[in-house]
Amino acid sequence: MKKSVSLLLALCLLLSLWSCGARPTESVPSETTQTLTASEGTPLERLIGYLFSSEGAKDLPGLYRALAENAGTSFPDWVALALARTGRTEGMEIYRAALRENVVTRYKNEDKLSRNLATEWHRIGLCLLALGDDPRNVEGIDLAADGVWDRGKVSPLTSQGCNGVAWALTFLGAGGYAVPEGAAQSKEELIRLLLEAQHEDGGWVFGNFDSDADTTAMALTGLSRFRGEPGVDEAIEKGLNLLSRRQLEDGGFESFGSKNPMSISQVILALTALELDPATDPRFQKEGGDPVDALLAYQLKDGSFPAKAGDTKAGGIANYQAFLALAALELAGKGQHLFGRTEVRG
């Protein structure tokens, strides 16, 4: 039962999801077509090598083309986002076009992107930002308005628990958007909703369970660009302290009793978003290692990541969450944020 709940949590978290001196990896030049294998390069490059193999691609345009077949779904959206944000942009226009077409097509239906999941707007909006596009004008469709400040006109962001609010704030912060007057919910109200969801122990929860690392990290990522707003700094410190207390002695994390790389990835995303170095911050240095050490210990020989400790085969969700975490570390070493806009040259 715990394993099935953990998988459900991971799916919900990522249906949507800086200079800190974090341990960087070298970036692959975006102007050069890349062909990688799982035995080459940094951990991020090895994971990309696995993706080349699993998607049957020989270069970056080929990888974007393969991913574009399922544009608008979790795995390819997050992978495209991470590729583009780390400068691996050759061929990204292939995915950008496919994703825009997906949005326009889905908007012809009554439910548009989703009847129940506001995080569909947030993930796709974040991906379009990373691809150098404007989520507020997809053939006249405004994903920020429909998915963030006016979502309440259709369905409460809280219908997904605090997940919907956290990712709404991540999208809002990434785009640097100002909420217009007359919106269903102001920026201040969105922040208040997330702060009110924080438990006394400093954490956030999924459903009716106890505070967990994944949801707490996701909430911290959402709050990261709103430091200085009333109550935010205090909430962040309480959340960080909860994560430090919940960290395992090997430097990793677990969710619902299951040790896994996905929880570690979420924490790394939160720490880098808060301009903290997961490899050196004293609160996250345990006897057996830090979060980066713990995540890399999961990487398999083929470059992929398993769903949980003890598995020897790649886990789809684990791969794209690890991809996001490794990309965030690479960008943090350059003083950049994973969730932001990619400038398109030319």
Task: Say whether pLDDT at 104 is over 50.
Answer: yes
Give residue-wise pLDDT tens across range 284-342. 999 999 999 999 999 999 999 999 999 989 988 999 999 999 999 999 999 999 999 98
Q: Give the per-residue pLDDT at 208.
A: 66
Mean local confidence (pLDDT), 201-215: 88
% of the chain exceeding 70 in pLDDT: 88
Give residue-wise pLDDT tens across range 239-279. 999 999 999 999 999 988 899 999 999 999 999 999 999 99
**Strand blocks (E) in 171-310:** 254-255, 258-259
Task: Say whether pLDDT at 216 is over 90.
Answer: yes
Q: Could you tell me the residue ranges of all domains in the chain?
A: 41-332
Conformational region of residue 12, where left means phi above 0, alpha means psi within -120 to 50, and beta covers everything else? alpha
Give 90's contacts (C-beta < 8 A, 6+ positions apart): 30, 31, 32, 33, 34, 59, 60, 61
Q: Whole-model pTM above 0.95?
A: no
Task: Say whether pLDDT at 166 is over 90.
Answer: yes
Task: Say whether pLDDT at 28 is over 60.
Answer: no
Q: CATH code for 41-332? A: 1.50.10.20
Mean pLDDT score across all residues of the chain: 89
Task: Say whether pLDDT at 3 is over 50.
Answer: no
What is the residue whose two structure tokens read 């574009």? 68
**pLDDT band with cut points at 50, 70 and 90 for residue 210:** confident
Q: Which tokens belong to 56? A: 């049957």
Question: How many CA atoms does the CB half-sphere of 215 hold within 13 Å?
Answer: 28
Task: Say whether pLDDT at 9 is over 70.
Answer: no
Are 28 and 45 in contact, with CB atoms under 8 Å apart?
yes
Mean local confidence (pLDDT), 188-207: 95
Burial (0-12, 13-18, 19+ Cβ within 10 Å), 151: buried
Task: Say whether pLDDT at 126 is over 90.
Answer: yes
> Which range (39-43, 127-131, 175-179) has the least confidence?
39-43
Residues 325 and 338: their CA atoms lie apart, in Å, by 9
> Which range (10-14, 16-20, 299-303, 312-316) has the least confidence?
16-20
